[in-house]
Structure 1
Amino acid sequence: MTTSPPATRTTQSAAARRAPGGPGSGPVEREGLPWGVLAIVALGAAALLALLVSLVVGGAAEAPLVLDPGPVVRYGLPIAKLATTLGASAAIGALLLSLLALARDTPAYDRALDVAAAGAALWALGAGATGFFIFLSVFLEPITLDDRFGQLLASFFTERELGQAWLATALMAAVVTVLCFAVRSPALLAGVLVLAVAAVWPVAQTGHAGGTADHDAAVTAVYLHSVFAAVWVGGLLTLVLARRALGDRLGAVLARYSTLALIAFIVVAVSGLVSAQIRVGTLEGLATPYGALLIAKVVSLVALGAFGAAYRGVLIARVQRAVRPRASLWAIVVAELVVMGAASGIATALARTAPPVEEVPAEELADPTPAELLTGSPLPPPFEPWRLATEWDLNLLWALLAVFGAFFYLAGAWRLHRRGDRWPVHRTILWVAGMAMLFAVTSGGFAVYEPYLFSVHMLGHMLLSMAIPVLLVLAAPVTLAARAIHARTDGSRGPREWILAIVHSRFAGVVGHPLVAAVVFAVSLLAFYYSPLFSWAVTDHVGHQWMILHFLLSGFLFVNALIGIDPAPSRPPYPIRLLILMATMAFHAFFGLFLLTGTGLLLPEWYGAMGREWGQAPLADQQTGGGIAWSVGEIPTLALALLVMLSWSRSDSRESKRRDRQAERDGDAELHAYNDMLAQRADRTRS
């Protein structure tokens, strides 16, 4: 535990840090141009100009033939949305940059949080204004001060799904604003960042017609696109606004931002491609006004990629060598912000432009099937086991996590290899296999058929909670990260520091304890399948993602407590581990047997109402799922038991070798001391 310095010294050092040229700030940049003001003006002006032009090109600025809300609403609504986008970008980008690139006790850290607070305030105001303009466009009511207008407005924000989404976003952004002023601890700010990222979700759900065939894929693509675009834009804006406070740390922070920007570029490009494919359909759709705006956005994305290549190829090294950054650097940054603003304006106008592919909710179809009414999609082809490997339904979130997970693990293993350190090849193979299996379960035939067949859902559950965790735990990712990622020496927290902080946190110590992990792993079966959580996970997109995460994490913690190589809060003796494993798996088998012999259908309003004519009847299929939980689930159990016994044997072997080496060094002193003790006891007994 560290002790705090005297209060007077803390106050003085804080004041010195905030003063230009104070300790730790490095050389102070003295430039003639106000680059921060110029950056804000350039970003906002480019975004507004691109928005207005795009509204005209896309036709969204034209007055509709009927139910025209007026020019104030027609233009005010997209402008308010643009303010929301830019505010969210500043908040999310500044928070992430402060957590991953800046040291806590520096002026740059404080400046970044000021940027985040200002951005969140703009975000809250923009979201509130957007909701108000949407209300005016829906109800076509003139603004008055009477009770009727107030009641209509209140009902819109509290009872209509669209109003609730914008109200939730505005309230969450307002909370982020307050917390950015009140919180300075990195751990607490990480929670603020999670809240800010979550605040993007309600609005993302409103960007695609509910009930359409690609609803979940479209919502995920829009959400990821919005979040990582915010990281990209907001991080760069924070850099230029905190440039003077960074001092001689500018080069290092710019390099860290460049890595974040590269990841953001990949996610924005992939999610944009998925979204465009859903909304444009064929190449003929590019000839429409929507397609023209989409092409303009792609051009801006390519230009931003060129800026990123320039950063990584030339500019970062030049800044790190220079005593003081040149004005040309900030000119390039401002130019990049201009392109970012234009892209943001085009994206906002795209949301107001009719896409070539018409979005028709299932309930508005001429003759919807029961499956279409429930899931928004038609029934897949009749199920055959081999279709699990041939049918695909991309889950973009987990696909990106699997790809990035495999890439960074391979990059870490390669870094160790280049510097001459050994890393077992079998661990790399296990990790890549685990990521490939995660991708297959979340985006392959399992994802296609699990909404319709409980047995497929249960097989996916077994893989997520028992098979994949075994592969990932034996790959020792935390150990690899601790060895391969460079440690920070400037007081900031990088990926290595955050990973180790999480692993050694009190919360991880509690949930990672073998008994707690075993209880969570076992009891969550009943808590999930015999509570409203199951309905939420099956019928709601967010619930489904939560289900995947829960199964994966609970399985990982349980397996790591038994056979893990990475650090764990405690690992009991091997006989106790076997007892915990057998008790947990007995509970698991009982659950499977209960489903196998049960006569009541889980979620009859879902699995029993799909109207499918292929496959087993819903109850028989559920009983098959119970058989999978009882029988197939025992295969990982046996593998875990064998691995625990193998670890036990290796531990005994290592202990035996250690004692042999000790005996060679001291002439078996421990054995002689033990024999002397027995002889003394024998002498005392005879006397």
Structure 2
Amino acid sequence: MQALRDMAALLTVGLLVVAATCLAPEPGSSERSVTGVRRRAVQLAQGSAAAWLSGNLVLIGLVYSDASGSRLDAPGFWEQAAFFATSYELGRYLLWGAVLAAAVAATCALASSVAFLGVAALLSLAGLWPMALTGHAAGTLQHIDAVNLQMFHLVGIGVWAGGLLALVLLRPYLGTGAGAPIRHFSTLATWGLLLVTVSGVLGAALRLPSPGAIVSTYGALLGLKLAAVVVLAGLGHRQRHRLASEADLGGRTRFWRVLALEAAILVGAAGTGVALTRTAPPAPSGSPRPLTAAEAMLGSSLPPPLDAGAWWSGWSIDSLFLPFGLAAAVWYVLAVRRLATRGVRWPWWRTALWLTGCVLFLWATNGPPGTYGRVLFSMHMIQHMTIATAVPVFLVLGAPVTLALRTLRRRDDGSRGLREWLLQTVHSLPAQLLGHPIVASALFVVSMVAFYYSSLFELSLETHTGHVLMTLHFLLSGYLFAECLVGIDPGLRRPTYPIRTLLVMVTFGFHALFSVSLMASTRVLAEEWYAALGRTWGDSLADDQYLGASLGWLLGEYPLAVIAVALLVSWVSADRRERRRFDRSEAREGDRQLHAYNAYLAGLSARTDTMQPSQSTAVLGTAEEADRS
């Protein structure tokens, strides 16, 4: 049942990703429409999402039966299974997987435009997260790293293998124009293969205690799965480009033969993955010791006392955010280099600001703030304020959307690549709504207050999912706020500069008020969590919270200074551009506006010469007011 659920999930991801990025609409219809083979792909994805939903619901009963030893037909079994789905972690993961699968199916049913298609594809990728939490990688001490690697693994398989199955199902509807979709999919398959291989190797390194453990049953199954990946990679590299040219000529025999072979090996790899979930990894040598409270809560050992040396050595790899930070920096440098090869100069200071934002993000998530963020409130506040206020400002000043639009290739076959989806996103209604200055400012301030004065803060400490969502939310809200103030990228409508200045003053004033209120509070936030860690070094919980609130106030100042300088420079530059535009317009039109104004003043003077003294005074007063205005 789990194998069928996994295959349905991966097929759903593959169908939606291929439909969103590789397929073109029906000839004669709009590029934003879901017609022709796109419509067929969405219909198939809706059916596979329904199977995904059903598989999760059935697994709730089967997993509970397996864990409790109760028969499916035992009295009150399904009431107990429902309690298991809402009250226990494993059951909640399966339930959330079912909810996300239902959301995917509903979005497919409503997919009348390409925007819904993109939302469905994103929801399907998000639906893989509960599967990563319940996968065979989730039982190790390095639980967080294992889950992150499992998520990368599932995304890679979904895009690569799921897309492969999608092409098999859609081949009869592609006709003689299958070449372009296969070429587009080949690029996706390459990145998917890279994700699968790297995450698989790193995941194996986490689960195997020593190189000699490869001879165990678990190691043999892992070797079979790796062999399937290698065989698929070789077939794909050899055949895809050849298939693209043959498909354009109408050839189908080789298409079906090779893709059927890849699909068969893929099914075997998926079955091996299920077998891995039922096989315990080899135990390390020596007698195992029970986990401490801190190890069970953090998924790793309690870090050493925070001293001066720990600010340099207290680094721990975050396997989720480290790849994103490095990828962002590498992409930006390569994009600037591509512009340079065309003879286009990109401002060096924008590159420096973007790289500064990436370095700060990596430091906040992998450096001492990331290592001690769940142990000390003060370090959590440093991490939070860096991600929410400092990092977004530097990233926005790097103008990434403008750089991407200048370097990404434009599709001319009706399908949608990264450039087309980027334009769709920045001009979409949600982006316009969330990027509105009032909404962005309120989201930046209100979400901070709601986060700390509710159970969300403690949830972000207790669960990996909560921590990831917290990081992404504050990074996105800070980015939208900074973009509407000092950004130059297309998409958002920005207010006038006086309104921007007022928004900066009001928003950071509320931020300072929040920090002061937290400093004056006698209630210790997440007290049960911090007390249960058993930390014996450092300040008390109350003193550490006071220090964290003080740091939160202080760390909001230097991003404010950066925003103020950027806003001032942008304001002055905008005034200069407006003056130059006005001067060029007057030069083209022969000083038309100046002559019109002089004629207006001459008319007023002529009228005053023919009026009585009292009337002349009134008219002259009106003219003086006009001059002042």
The normalised TM-score by structure 1 is 0.81
The answer on 1:583 being equivalent to 2:512 is: no
User: Are the structure 2 counterparts of residues 159 and 666 from structure 1 closer, same or farther at C-alpha, using a change threshold of 3 Å?
Assistant: closer
Give the AA of the match of 1:500.
L
Q: 1:610 and 1:264 mapped to 2: Cα distance?
A: 39
The reply on whether 1:318 has 2:245 as its aligned counterpart is yes
The alpha carbon displacement at 1:549 in A equals 0.8
Q: Does 1:616 align with 2:539?
A: yes
1:409 to 319, 332, 347: 332
Distance in 1 between residues matched to 2:161 and 2:113, nearest whole Å: 24
- 1:211–1:376 Cα contact (<8 Å) kept: no
Change beyond 3 A, Cα 1:184–1:365: farther
Shift of 1:282: 2.1
Instruction: Return the offset for 1:488.
Output: 2.9
Aligned-pair distance for 1:309?
Answer: 3.0
Q: Take 1:182 and 1:514, find their aligned partners in 2: how far apart are those partners? A: 30
Q: Call closer, same or farther: CA 1:84–1:242 in 2, change over 3 Å.
A: same
Correspondence for 2:168 among 230, 233, 240: 240
CA distance in 1, matches of 2:555, 2:72: 64
Once residues 91 and 393 of structure 1 are traced to their aligned partners in structure 2, the CA distance between those partners, rounded to angstroms, is 35
Distance of aligned partners of 1:637 and 1:173 in 2 relative to their CA distance in 1, 3 Å threshold: closer
Q: Measure, in 2, the Cα distance between the counterparts of 1:615 and 1:538.
A: 19
Structure-1 residue corresponding to 2:323? 400
Cα distance in 1 for residues equivalent to 2:511 and 2:95: 43
Range with bigger deviation, 448-457 or 488-497: 488-497
Letter of the structure 1 residue corresponding to residue 350 of structure 2:
R
2:4 corresponds in structure 1 to: 83
Unaligned runs of 5+ in 2: 27-34, 611-629
Contact 1:465 1:552 in 2 (8 A): yes
Whether the 8 Å contact between 1:90 and 1:115 is mirrored in structure 2 is: no
Which residue in the other structure is 1:92 paired with? 13
Report the Cα distance in structure 1 between the residues aligned to 2:539 and 2:379, rounded to whole angstroms: 12
| Equivalent in the alignment of 2:517 | 594
In structure 1, C-alpha distance between the alignment counterparts of 2:198 and 2:390, rounded to whole Å? 29
- Within a 5 Å distance, the mapping from 1:223-262 to structure 2 comes to 223-262=151-190
Q: Superposition pairs for residues 210-229 of structure 1, below 5 Å?
A: 213-229=141-157
Please name the residue that 2:66 is paired with: 137
Question: Contact between 2:144 and 2:299, CA under 8 Å: does it hold in 1?
Answer: no
SS where residue 258 of structure 2 aligns?
A: helix
Q: Paired residue for 2:599, among 653, 676, 683?
A: 676
Q: CA deviation at 1:250?
A: 1.5
1:190-243 deviation line (CA, Å, top 9, x unaligned): 333333333333343233697863122222222332232122111011112212
Contact 1:271 1:396 in 2 (8 A): no
Q: Which residues of 2 match residues 435-446 of structure 1 at below 5 A? A: 435-446=358-369
Aligned counterparts, 1:536-615, within 5 A:
536-615=459-538
Give the percent of matched residue pairs that are identical in Structure 1 and Structure 2: 40
Q: Does 2:267 align with 1:327?
A: no
What is the deviation of 1:504?
A: 1.1
- The answer to whether the 8 A contact 1:84-1:127 is kept is yes
Q: Does structure 1 retain, via aligned residues, the 8 Å contact 2:485–2:567?
A: yes
Q: Find the aligned partners of 1:370 and 1:150 in 2 and give their Cα distance.
A: 33
Counterparts of 1:530 and 1:211, CA distance in 2: 32
Deviation at 1:476, TM superposition (A): 1.3
The equivalences for 1:516-531 within 5 A come to 516-531=439-454
* Letter of the 1:183 counterpart: A
**CA contact 1:258–1:311 (8 Å) conserved in 2:** no
AA aligned opposite 1:83: L
Whole-angstrom CA distance in 2 between matches of 1:484 and 1:316: 28
CA distance in structure 2 between the aligned counterparts of 1:338 and 1:209, rounded to whole angstroms: 25
2:412 pairs with 1:485: no
Residue aligning to 1:281: 209
- Unpaired runs of at least 5, structure 1: 1-79
In structure 1, C-alpha distance between the alignment counterparts of 2:332 and 2:570, rounded to whole Å: 24
The aligned counterpart of 1:71 is none
Which residue type is aligned with residue 303 of structure 1?
A: V
Q: Letter of the aligned partner of 1:134 in structure 2?
A: V
Aligned equivalent of 1:351, options 270, 277, 285: 277
What does 1:372-411 correspond to in 2, within 5 Å? 372-411=295-334
Q: Deviations over 1:301-333 (max 9, x none)?
A: 233333343357x4266347x522352343222
- Residue 153 (structure 1) shift: 4.6
Structure-2 change in CA distance of 1:597 and 1:143 (3 Å): closer
8 Å contact from structure 1 (residues 430, 474) kept in 2: yes
CA distance in 2 between counterparts of 1:164 and 1:558 reads 34
Cα offset for 1:618? Answer: 2.0
Distance 1:311 1:564 in 2: 45
The Cα of 1:559 is off from its aligned counterpart by: 0.8
TM-score normalised over the length of structure 2: 0.88
Shift in alpha-carbon separation, 1:158–1:254, aligned structure 2, 3 A: same
Are residues 453 and 174 of structure 1, via their aligned partners in 2, closer, same or farther at CA, if it must alter by over 3 Å? Answer: closer
Please give the alpha-carbon distance, in whole angstroms, between the structure 2 residues aligned to 1:154 and 1:462: 40
**Which residue of 2 is the match for residue 515 of structure 1?**
438
8 Å CA contact retained: 1:589, 1:630: yes
Q: In structure 2, what is the Cα distance between the partners aligned to 1:329 and 1:217?
A: 38
Q: Aligned pair 1:200/2:128, yes or no?
A: yes
Contact 1:473 1:560 in 2 (8 A): yes
After superposition, the Cα gap between the structure-2 partners of 1:305 and 1:445, relative to the gap in structure 1 and judged at 3 Å, is farther
| Contact in 2 for aligned 1:208/1:215 (Cα 8 Å) | no
3-state SS, counterpart of residue 599 of structure 1: coil
1:585-615: CA deviations, max 9, x gaps?
Answer: 1111222223334333222112344322222
Give, in whole Å, the separation in 2 of the partners of 1:301 and 1:130: 27
Q: Give the drift of 1:179.
A: 4.8
* 3-state SS, counterpart of residue 607 of structure 1: helix
Following superposition, the deviation at residue 104 of structure 1 comes to: 3.9
Distance 1:163 1:496 in 2: 40
Conservation of the 8 A alpha-carbon contact between 1:512 and 1:568 = no
The AA in structure 2 aligned to 1:372 is E
Counterpart of 1:111? 40
Change (3 A) 1:532 1:174: closer
- Between the aligned partners of 1:621 and 1:650, the Cα distance in structure 2 is 44
Alignment coverage as a number of residue pairs: 601
Report the counterpart of residue 68 of structure 1 in structure 2. none
Change (3 A) 1:513 1:182: closer
Instruction: Give the 4+ runs in structure 1 shifted more than 6 A.
Output: none
The residue type equivalent to 1:347 in the other structure is G
